[in-house]
Structure 1
Amino acid sequence: MIEIVLLLVLLISIVTDIYSRKILNVVTIPAILVGLIYYTVHSGLNGLWFSFSGFILGLVLLLIPFLFGGMGAGDVKLMAAIGALMGTVFVFHTFLFTALIGGVISIFILLRRMNIKQVIAHMYMTFIVFRGKTKEVHVSTEQKYKFSFPYGIAIVLGAFIAYIWGVIS
């Protein structure tokens, strides 16, 4: 039953993120509540802890990228919903697969939209920023969308791979 809820949340989220670049609260918040209620009813306080700890881990994993403007709040809430529905181990595996998929997609976008000199300069700027030596960089909204993508795609694919990984393991 909970896997069906997860599947619906993932499918709705990927569609809305692709078409409107939004992951809707009307999808993620009820999913979080369903996870918390489902596990509490089925397993009592242990179930509540299972779901709540998955929710918290999912929230925390994407909080720092969100605070730095690297993703939207909907992405964070989607990962939190995945955690509430499937627990800490699943959400952590989802996070790892999401990071790999997101990295591959990002490299593909960079290579496709820039020449190699621009890619190296962009990677250097990213390295400088993450080392704490931030330089003021002005990026227009048009430039931001040129190199961004709906991160919900990576999250959904990461969750699908985590699910398949768990089934075959």
Structure 2
Amino acid sequence: MIEVILSVILIISLITDIKARKILNIVTIPAIGFAFIYYVITGGLHGLLFSTGGFLLGLGLLFLPFLLGGVGAGDVKLLAAIGALQGMQFVFYAFIYTALIGGMIAVVLLLKRKDLLHSFKRILYVTQLKTLDSLNKDELHHAFPYGVAIVIGTFITLGAGSLWV
């Protein structure tokens, strides 16, 4: 049942992120609330801790990228919802797959725009300065809807579940 709910949330989020560049609170917030209630009913305090731990880890994994402007608040809430529904171990692996998928999407987009080499030069420039203050955020930002990477990474984790449990 949880996997079906998660799949519906992922598909809705994929569609809204591609079409409107938004992951809707009306999808993520009820999913988080449902997860807490479901796990309290089915597992009591242990269930609440399972869901809360996943929620907090999901929230924490994208919080710094959110503060740096790399992802939106909807992306953070989606990963938190995934964690609340599936727990800490699952959301950690989903995050790893998401990061790999996100990196691949970014490289493909940079290759398509013929901007890969220029982007690597900017990254080296930033790491040598050890500061982002001297660079324009818009200049560094090659945005794509990161929810796409989150959804793909999470579906990979669902499919590979038996490999890491």
- Tell me whether the two structures share a fold, i.e. TM-score over 0.5: yes
1:123 to 116, 120, 137: 120
Residue 57 of structure 1: aligned partner: 57
* Uncovered stretches (5+) of structure 2, i.e. residues with no partner: none
Which deviates more from structure 2 when the two are superposed, residues 132-141 or residues 121-130?
132-141
Q: 1:121 to 1:2 in 2, by over 3 A?
A: same
Q: By how many angstroms is 1:135 displaced?
A: 5.1
Residue 156 of structure 2: aligned partner: 161
1:137 to 135, 138, 142: 135
C-alpha distance after superposition, 1:20-49 (max 9, x if no partner): 000000000000011111001000000000
* Uncovered stretches (5+) of structure 1, i.e. residues with no partner: none
How many pairs were matched up?
163
Q: 1:103 to 1:14 in 2, by over 3 A?
A: same
Identity %: 50
Residue 30 of structure 1: aligned partner: 30
Residue 5 of structure 1: aligned partner: 5
Query: Would you say 1:44 and 2:41 are equivalent positions?
Result: no
Distance 1:15 1:126 in 2: 31
Q: 1:71 to 1:28 in 2, by over 3 A?
A: same
- 8 Å contact from structure 1 (residues 129, 135) kept in 2: no
Residue 144 of structure 2: aligned partner: 149
Distance 1:3 1:60 in 2: 22
Query: Would you say 1:111 and 2:95 are equivalent positions?
Result: no
C-alpha distance after superposition, 1:128-150 (max 9, x if no partner): 43562335233559x95xx3111
Q: TM-score, normalised by structure 2?
A: 0.92
RMSD over aligned Cα atoms: 1.8
Q: TM-score, normalised by structure 1?
A: 0.90
